[in-house]
């Protein structure tokens, strides 16, 4: 039974721990939950998951590492719905809607989207550039949203 979400070990070390934590990019760096002595990663996971889903590409892990346990996901309003909606999207394409209640498959699916999202996040934010500020990162992310809005709601 799935009790946590994993991501690729190399991506976690390189992008999350090595870049995002080091610079606290967009406030997503390592921080403690006020109620527990555990590091919260739900925000970075949901962002990576959304970016990967937007790309429409799943990147399998060569070696996995646990990122977040199930409780923070369940405690975030809407998070499980997002996870199952991505699973449903994939299952409809595969004509296998019967597996919709498979939590393990749902977690595996979003893990792969999150891996892709981390790769995309590295590309978007150019995390190796030392001159960027949080404001620069925010404008890059807003630019992405603008592009997606134009794609979805163009006035053609």
- Tens digit of each residue's pLDDT (9 = 90 or more) over 13-53: 988 888 888 777 777 776 655 544 445 788 889 999 999 99
Kindly give, in sequence order, each residue whose CB lies less than 8 Å from that of residue 127, ignoring residues fewer than 6 positions away. 15, 19, 20, 23, 25, 121
- Tens digit of each residue's pLDDT (9 = 90 or more) over 79-115: 999 999 999 999 998 888 888 889 999 999 999 999 9
Cα 53 to Cα 27: distance, rounded to the nearest angstrom: 22
For the chain, the domains span 4-152
Assess contact for 2 and 104: CB atoms under 8 A: yes
């Amino acid at each position: 039974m799935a009790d946590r979400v994993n991501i690729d070990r190399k991506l976690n070390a390189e992008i999350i721990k090595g870049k995002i934590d080091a610079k606290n990019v967009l406030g997503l760096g390592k921080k403690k939950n006020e109620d527990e002595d555990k590091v919260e990663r739900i925000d970075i996971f949901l962002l990576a998951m959304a970016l990967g889903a937007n790309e429409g590409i799943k990147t399998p892990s060569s070696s996995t590492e646990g990122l977040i346990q199930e409780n923070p996901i369940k405690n975030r309003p809407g998070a499980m719905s997002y996870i199952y909606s991505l699973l449903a999207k994939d299952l409809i394409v595969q004509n296998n809607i019967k597996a919709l209640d498979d939590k393990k498959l749902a977690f595996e699916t979003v893990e792969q989207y999150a891996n892709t999202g981390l790769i995309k996040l590295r590309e978007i934010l150019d995390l190796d550039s030392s001159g960027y500020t949080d404001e620069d990162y925010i404008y890059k992310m807003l630019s992405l949203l603008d592009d997606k809005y134009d794609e979805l709601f163009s006035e053609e």
